[in-house]
Amino acid sequence: MSAAPVWSVDPRTGNPREQVAVEATAEEVDRAVGAAHAVRDALADRAARAAFLRTAAELLEESGEHIVEAADAETALGPARLTGELARTAAQLRAFAEVVDEGAYLDVHIDHQDGSRTPPWPDLRRYKIPLGVVAVYAASNFPLAFSVPGGDTASALAAGCPVVVKAHPDHPATSELCASVLRRAAARTGLPEDVLTLVHGFDAGVELIRHPLVSAAGFTGSVRGGRALFDAAAARPAPIPFHGELGSLNPVVVTGAAAAERAGEIGAGLGGSMTLGAGQFCTKPGFVLVPEGAAGDQLLKTLTETVSSTGSGVLLDHRMRDAFVTGVRERAALPDVGAPVTPGAGGEHTVSAGFLTVPAARLTAEGPHDALLEECFGPVTVIARYASVDEIAAVLARLPGNLTATLQTAAEDADPDAARLLAALTPLAGRILVNGWPTGVAVAPAQHHGGPYPATTSTSTSVGATAIERWLRPVTYQSTPEALLPPELREDNPLGLPRRVDGRRA
């Protein structure tokens, strides 16, 4: 029986464009993982890794026109959005090259022997080493920044881990093109091309998470798919870390003082954020608590105007479109749910943006309205109208984990409810915003892109410098002769690494 073909599909029409690959068999997955495992020692040289990451960024930019064209044909995200995503992807690669150069990620600690302590201390030297082969599962909504050349891949390679990427079926041609660029970058910098390999197919993804030579995995996608892989990773004879980003409602609380002060500004900002990229950002504000009364009414009036002026959009594939249309229809049919701007099918291949409203009191206890507290992927948000701060707290207490949570408050600390509400939002998410919108994630050292389950399956971040920590494990050498120590831990610090010696930075 021949392997199933992998087709590139135009989401604007639903028509196949071209066959770009075939789904990998179990034997082919085994070969891909084995090839990656065999070259892991080639990544031991930090200078070579940094050069590889910088060269990959350079070659991606050189191929930018072709990459953007391919990605737009497969995702309908548009050249402007994809050009920006390509720039972000290249910046991520260069940022991790700087992390590798600096070496602080190795987290070197040296505690010299001290017999005066009770109990006495032996000589202890600790640093971090790469886990091994990392499986990366590409995202549908970011064909570059969270896919083959994206943050999971960049951070794993920076850590010294070879990567096997499972391509997303929504952009296989883009995946093949980006994989070829990264493999070319490896060859240009003297590394084996198999530091990155690519496989296609659902079954291949399952085989990959089960492979005994895979040491960790990174995933961005649905709760259902991510949870299945997470469970498979835990069920292995030797379980492995699974860093999954699964789903997020990204709640927003608008205080009464904020609505009174700038209802129009908040309504327009919300409309722009929830419809950005046809609502397909993992940080889309999908649930918003707005006060009852005239100020809240004005906010909704501006939101209505903003969303009504947004044209129909194409989702990443027709399966997502069908799920969106069904999801908003079922939610809109619930008692006391209104649709000032009705979301749904905008045409045969498109969807129209909209929002739903519901009294917050409907969400303070378990019931059929709990569907409104689940992510609906696409250009829709839920507005819950509250009567008191206590009602806000009751609703927030029922929310699952999120990537982000946002507080819209009055200016100049003039809001009596701000501190209490910020404290209530903080346990819900990994990134807390005040008077901003969550769409758009800065690639910065202090960034955290993660959150309590189901936002992610671990406490780590997939964006920012500390994303590298997911692919490392600490090891301590005790009472080890100098000649046997790795260079990172030797007394004379031949690599010039930042470290802590006897509790002090050295």
Q: Is 255 helix (H, G, I), strand (E, B) or coil?
A: coil
Sign of the CA dihedral running 69, 73, 79, 84: negative
Q: Please say if 245 is a catalytic residue.
A: yes
Best CA proximity match to 195, nearest among 39, 32, 33:
39
DSSP class per residue in 169-217: TT-HHHHHHHHHHHHHHHHHTT--GGGEEEE-SHHHHHHHHH-TTEEEE
Catalytic residue, candidates 161, 178, 282, 376: 282
Please check whether residue 92 is in contact with residue 464, taking contact to mean a CB–CB distance below 8 angstroms: no
Beta-carbon contacts of residue 367 (< 8 Å; ≥ 6 apart) = none
Q: Is the distance from CB of 200 to CB of 169 less than 8 angstroms? A: yes
Spatial separation of the C-alpha atoms in residues 55 and 48, rounded to whole Å:
10
Helix (H, G, I), strand (E, B) or coil at 7: strand
Q: By C-alpha distance, which of 331, 408, 315 is closest to 375?
A: 331
Catalytic site residue from 245, 261, 375, 391: 245
DSSP track, 304-369: HHHHHTSPPB--SSHHHHHHHHHHHHHHHTSTT-EEEE--EE-SSS-EE-EEEEEEGGGGSSSSGG
Q: Tell me which amino acid residue 118 is.
A: T
Q: How far apart are CA 65 and CA 9, in angstroms?
A: 19
Token readout for 325 is: 């249309």
User: How many whole angstroms separate alpha carbon 9 and alpha carbon 71?
Assistant: 11
Picking from 1, 16, 13, the residue whose alpha carbon sits closest to that of residue 172 is 16
State the residue for tokens 């929002």. 355
> Could you tell me if residue 447 is left (phi over 0), alpha (psi between -120 and 50 degrees) or otherwise beta?
beta
Residue type present at position 100: V
Q: Which two tokens stand for residue 308?
A: 């009504």
Distance (Å, rounded) from C-alpha 147 to C-alpha 331? 31
Q: Is 250 left (phi over 0), alpha (psi -120 to 50) or beta?
A: left
Q: Do the Cβ atoms of 447 and 464 come closer than 8 Å?
A: yes
Q: List residues with catalytic annotation.
A: 245, 282
